[in-house]
Amino acid sequence: MITKNRTILIFDLDDTLYKELEFLKSAYKEIAICLSKETNVHFQVILNDMMVFYNSGLNAFKEILDAYGIQNICVDDLISIYRNHKPQISLKKPVKDMLFRLKQTVFKVGVITDGRSVQQRNKIEALGLSDYFDDIIISEEFGSEKPNKANYAYFENQYGGGMNYIYVGDNTHKDFLAPNALGWHTICLLDDGHNIHKQSFELENSKLPKQCITHVLDLEFTINQVKHVL
């Protein structure tokens, strides 16, 4: 296994450790329950309509309010529910078990995620991840977002430049540019067709990961291979 005092393992959150679509569905359900009280339409019907709007590439918040003629609730109200609700999401047990083993193996585990503080921390709490991360960098709290190098350099400032840094993410447009520039080893979890932000590999080399994996559970084996080249 990797020498514990040399490796810093850092994750993206959304569409890496869990599927962000599950958060979206959880938020849409909360919104549908709210709108059901206004319309006397069963929340599941409203939820189904919202998912149709979303999958059609439309603004589901605007469309659902228009579809049901709701005037005393605005799009901003629905956005607030989306961002601040307590999500009904969970981390699959095999993923949680893998993270437990990795945390015993590496020196530190962190996360770098873009988004609002309440929203991202609600996700981390719901997923039961707080005990797995030594450092949590959330863009709203930190003051900048990916691909800003500062969000990644925080870890080097915290633990020094002599460590082995491994970053795991999924967004090819913004996840890997900064850690590549810092000389980190970057690993991309490939989209299985359910990611919210679609991937592209027709990019300049500076944005491309050094490795790709097809499933998050492949990470443990991959990291054990990486130790031989770092």
Helix (H) or strand (E) holding 61: helix 60-67
1 belongs to a structural domain:
no
Ramachandran assignment for 193, one of left (phi > 0), alpha (psi -120 to 50 degrees), beta (any other) = left
Same-domain pairing of 97 and 205: yes
Whether 182 contacts 156, CB under 8 Å: yes
Q: Range of 194's domain?
A: 7-18+90-226
Q: Which residues pair with 112 in a beta bridge?
A: 137
112-130 tens-digit pLDDT = 999 999 999 999 999 999 9
Predicted pLDDT at 2: 44
Cα gap 181→139, rounded to integer Å: 19
Residue 106 token pair: 């590496």
What is the number of alpha carbons within 13 Å of residue 126 lying toward its C-beta? 21
2 belongs to a structural domain:
no
Predicted pLDDT at 182: 97
Which amino acid makes up residue 111? V
Predicted pLDDT at 3: 46
Same-domain pairing of 37 and 132: no
The residue to which tokens 């999401």 are assigned? 89
Same-domain pairing of 109 and 188: yes
55-89 tens-digit pLDDT = 999 999 999 999 999 999 999 999 999 999 999 99
Cα gap 214→219, rounded to integer Å: 9
Cα gap 86→29, rounded to integer Å: 11
Domain count, the chain: 2
Predicted pLDDT at 5: 64
Predicted pLDDT at 225: 78
pLDDT along the chain (230 residues), means of 10: 72 97 98 96 98 97 97 97 97 94 93 97 96 96 96 96 94 97 97 93 95 94 72
Mean pLDDT of the chain: 94
Predicted pLDDT at 227: 61
Domain harbouring 101, CATH code = 3.40.50.1000
Predicted pLDDT at 111: 98
171 belongs to a structural domain:
yes
Cα gap 126→95, rounded to integer Å: 15
Same-domain pairing of 79 and 105: no
Same-domain pairing of 28 and 105: no
Predicted pLDDT at 4: 58
